Amino acid sequence: MTLKTADRGRVPPFIVMDVMRAANEAEARGERVLHLEVGQPSTGAPALVVERAKAALGRERLGYTDALGIPALRQGIAGHYRTAYGMEVDWRRVVVTTGSSGAFILAFLAAFDVGDRVALASPGYPAYRNILQAQGVDVVDLAVGPETNFQPTPEILDAVDGGLDGLIVASPSNPTGTMMGKADLKSLCTYCAAAGIRVVSDEIYHGITYDEAASSALAFTDDALVINSFSKYFSMTGWRLGWMVVPENLLRPVECLAQNLFISPPSLSQHAAVAAFDCADELDGHVVRYGRNRALLLAELPKANFHKLASADGAFYIYADVGHLTNDSQEFCQRMLTETGVAATPGVDFDPVRGNRFVRFSFAGSTEHMAAAARVLRDWRHINP
């Protein structure tokens, strides 16, 4: 007798992880691989964070913590909003989570019921869609493009058939790196407040911007669920630590869900992360390097026949339209890895309808690797015969 498997587990794979595995296997065979596929800083955690972790190993018990996180870290995060945004956030509304992934799970469970309709920009981070679908929430894809800088607008929401219960926004966005200006984000939040749409604002790439700082949805509404992470700007991907700022009426539901699903975030990571907010000089140095990498690729990729590029206002991604080269971005990326050693992510990971004609390049690595990738792509006969 074959036992059943639950439908909620039948979500698409996170293709970038498959690409990373193929790239690592090629590297293990002795092949040279230039990693432009994974959205992960090539640097480790800040030096002060590592020192704090070492000290905590000898000083702290490192048992379970409060489900919402240790007070020192929650207070530090609230202080970060004062320093970075000039706004006061009650530290008791801050929830520390097991990565931003844990935050999305808690946010979606607390805010939305089975059958609710939640909209998100397409292209967008695939885990939004897959987590919502696994929870029985109906996903409404908003097809966005360069005409709105790949961001949702009130006009796009107005054209949706049927009501919406939620909207996920990301500025800067993964995979496009595009941002909403302050006025546009305010307009979107105002529209959602009037329409009774709960905003979930993914702000994990805040701090990594190139022309203007990103605005937080907290500046325009107290009803948004705001999600951030120590993985990107703070360069702590493997520490699995994120946070949310939660509206008052969702705080207790989020706490109860966190108690049951996660017990508490990683204890060592929490104690170490208290020091992260004292590392601005080191972290801003990484952003300077990302800026150099961005400028290099924006100048060099068009010479390699990648002409249509999203604006890359923030984060460390360039989203390229390769429709003139292929109608199968997955096969294109496989061929690119095999023939050039450049690993990139096919757009179908981010847009199941139009992603077959897009590719995402991550420039989180070294400038030397970016320059080398640009050189080999210029010489790749598949696209430059």
What is 57-87 written as a DSSP string? HHH-------TT--HHHHHHHHHHHHHHHS-
pLDDT of residue 135: 96
**Average pLDDT of span 131-146:** 96
pLDDT for the residue 19: 80
Residue 359 is which amino acid?
V
pLDDT at 15: 76
CA–CA distances in Å: residue 69 to residues 238, 266, 270: 18, 9, 7
List, for residues 95-127, the tens digit of each pLDDT value: 999 999 999 999 999 999 999 999 999 999 999
Report the pLDDT averaged over residues 49-68.
92
Taken in order 51, 57, 61, 67, the sign of the CA dihedral is: positive
Concatenated DSSP letters of 270-286: HHHHGGGGG-HHHHHHH
pTM above 0.75, yes or no: yes
pLDDT tens digits along 60-95: 788 999 999 999 999 999 999 999 999 999 999 999
Taking alpha carbons only, the member of 208, 266, 196 closest to residue 232 is 208
Residue 13 has pLDDT above 80, yes or no: no
Eight-state DSSP code of residue 318: E
- Structural domains present in the chain: 7-44+280-378 (3.40.640.10), 47-277 (3.40.640.10)
In sequence order, which residues have a C-beta less than 8 Å from that of residue 333 and are 6 or more positions away? 19, 343, 344, 345, 346, 359
Q: Count the neighbouring beta carbons within 10 Å of the beta carbon of residue 364.
A: 25
Asked whether the beta carbons of 347 and 354 are under 8 A apart, the reply is: yes
Bridge partners of residue 308, in order along the sequence = 321
Distance of CA 94 to the CA centre of its chain: 19
Least confident of 3-7, 103-107, 236-240, 283-287: 3-7
SS3 category, 343: strand
| Cα distance between residue 297 and residue 366, in whole Å | 12
CA separation for the pair 227, 171 (Å, rounded): 11
